[in-house]
Amino acid sequence: MKKHNFSAGPSILPQEVLLKASEAVVDYNNSGLSLIEISHRSKDFVDIMENARALVLELLGLEGKGYKALFLQGGASTQFLMVALNLLETRAGYLNSGSWAAKAIKEAKLYDDVYEVGSSKDANYNYIPKGYEIPEDYDYFHCTSNNTIFGTQMKSFPKTNVPMVCDMSSDIFSRTLDFSQFGLIYAGAQKNMGPAGTTLVVVKEDILGKVSRKIPSMMDYQVHIDKGSMYNTPPVFPIYTSMLTLEWLKNKGGIAAIEKENEKKASLMYSEIDLNPLFKGFAVKEDRSFMNATFNLTNDNLKDTFETMLKEAGISGVNGHRSVGGYRASMYNAMPIESVKALVEVMSELESKA
């Protein structure tokens, strides 16, 4: 049985991408060599890297607007550090909307003054803070667009005259936004782009070069820009698979097309959560994520029955994070609506049995 994969990450990828990527591991482009054997300096891989970076800017609508796309290593967690190293001179503002935002704040505090402009920690991050101010003397403002653990998502972004940095690890390429409002975007690949192992950074080049500290070469965005994202040996397979996923998304009609699919999936999921008395959503309704629906059973005595039914239906990866408990349905771009329907059917069937 092909499972319905609701894993929060590493997560589901399009089947056609997996097939093409697996073929390339054995023999890339009829070269007689595996993709993971060829030199990263070869024309074959240079073309992959250039195409992947170009696709990023095209899909985000940032071509010709002074942005550079980079594929780096170290996960989004390394970006917590790199952002501060490259941009933080005196002070910066951070929105504390979840566990990953809190970790970003912790790393940035190693360097200079970092202020929480808003926080939802008081309610275990079940909402997005609002009504905060961003002083104009900040070097930048940092936010997290989607909180995978808690199932919340920023539906709008503040107007500010300072560079806005956004961790989009769990909803990049999932909805239409004016991406030019951000000075820097970063995202781990393992939600909507590819396998774990590479991290996308999209940076407006004119916000760099303003700090007085010396930056180690591997941590310097400008070094990676100057070297075409190949200052050191890049993670070849994750970048290639990300390129295939970006091509898949482009062929579907881009972000606007996938957004419509994501809205349908989320609407179906949340409708069942709200109408079924056996379940209760965790995040406040106005801030619910289209990518990660978090919910709990209202009767813990049904836990074993529900989980047995999930297993029998081939539904995998819906256990909630330990910070929240309960369940989490991650519905990334590659998740077919049929899988969401399968989960909803099990939830509905549980109600009929209770």
Report the pLDDT value the prediction gives residue 61, as an integer from 0 to 100: 98
**Dihedrals phi, psi of 140, to nearest 5 degrees:** -170, 165
Q: Give Rg (Cα) of the chain.
A: 21
In the chain, where the domains are located: 15-252, 255-353
Q: What is the dihedral of CA 266, 272, 277, 281, to 10 degrees?
A: -10
Which of 191, 220, 265, 287 is catalytic? The answer is 191
Could you report the per-residue pLDDT of 238-265, keeping only the tens digit for each? 999 999 999 999 999 999 999 999 999 9
Q: Are 117 and 165 in contact (CB under 8 A)?
A: no
H helix or E strand, kind and range, residue 18:
helix 15-26
Q: Which two tokens stand for residue 97?
A: 């909307």
Asked if 226 is an active-site residue, the reply is no
CA distances from 314 to 2, 127, 137, 174, 317 (A): 7, 31, 53, 25, 10
CA–CA gap between residue 297 and residue 305 (Å, rounded): 11
Which of 68, 100, 220, 248 is catalytic? The answer is 100
CATH architecture for residues 15-252: 3-Layer(aba) Sandwich (3.40)
H helix or E strand, kind and range, residue 142:
strand 141-144
Nearest by Cα to 347 from 285, 275, 294:
275
Q: How many CA atoms lie within 13 A of 209 on its CB side?
A: 6
Residue 94: strand pairing partners:
116, 142
CA–CA gap between residue 244 and residue 240 (Å, rounded): 6
Asked if 353 is an active-site residue, the reply is no
Report the pLDDT value the prediction gives residue 1, as an integer from 0 to 100: 57
Q: DSSP per residue over 30-95, as a string?
A: TSSS-TTTS-TTSHHHHHHHHHHHHHHHHHHT-TTTTEEEEEESSHHHHHHHHHHHHH-SSEEEEE
Could you report the per-residue pLDDT of 27-85, keeping only the tens digit for each? 999 999 999 999 999 999 999 999 999 999 999 999 999 999 999 999 999 999 999 99
**Dihedrals phi, psi of 281, to nearest 5 degrees:** -70, 150
Nearest by Cα to 272 from 339, 327, 354, 343:
343
Report the pLDDT value the prediction gives residue 2, as an integer from 0 to 100: 76
Asked if 100 is an active-site residue, the reply is yes
Which whole number is the average pLDDT over 281-288?
98
User: How many helices, marked H, and strands, marked E, lie in the chain?
Assistant: 9, 14
Q: At what angle do helices 43-60 and 236-252 cross, to 10 degrees?
A: 40
Could you report the per-residue pLDDT of 119-178, keeping only the tens digit for each? 999 999 999 999 999 999 999 999 999 999 999 999 999 999 999 999 999 999 999 999
| Stronger pLDDT, 112 or 285, i.e. the higher one | 285
Report the pLDDT value the prediction gives residue 85, as an integer from 0 to 100: 97
CA–CA gap between residue 152 and residue 294 (Å, rounded): 9
Q: Which CATH superfamily is domain 255-353 in?
A: Aspartate Aminotransferase, domain 1 (3.90.1150.10)
**pLDDT(293) > 90:** yes
Q: Average per-residue pLDDT in the chain?
A: 97
Q: Do domains 15-252 and 255-353 have the same CATH topology?
A: no
Which of 139, 167, 220, 287 is catalytic? The answer is 167
Give the pLDDT band of residue 112 (cuts 50, 70, 90): confident
H helix or E strand, kind and range, residue 96:
strand 91-96
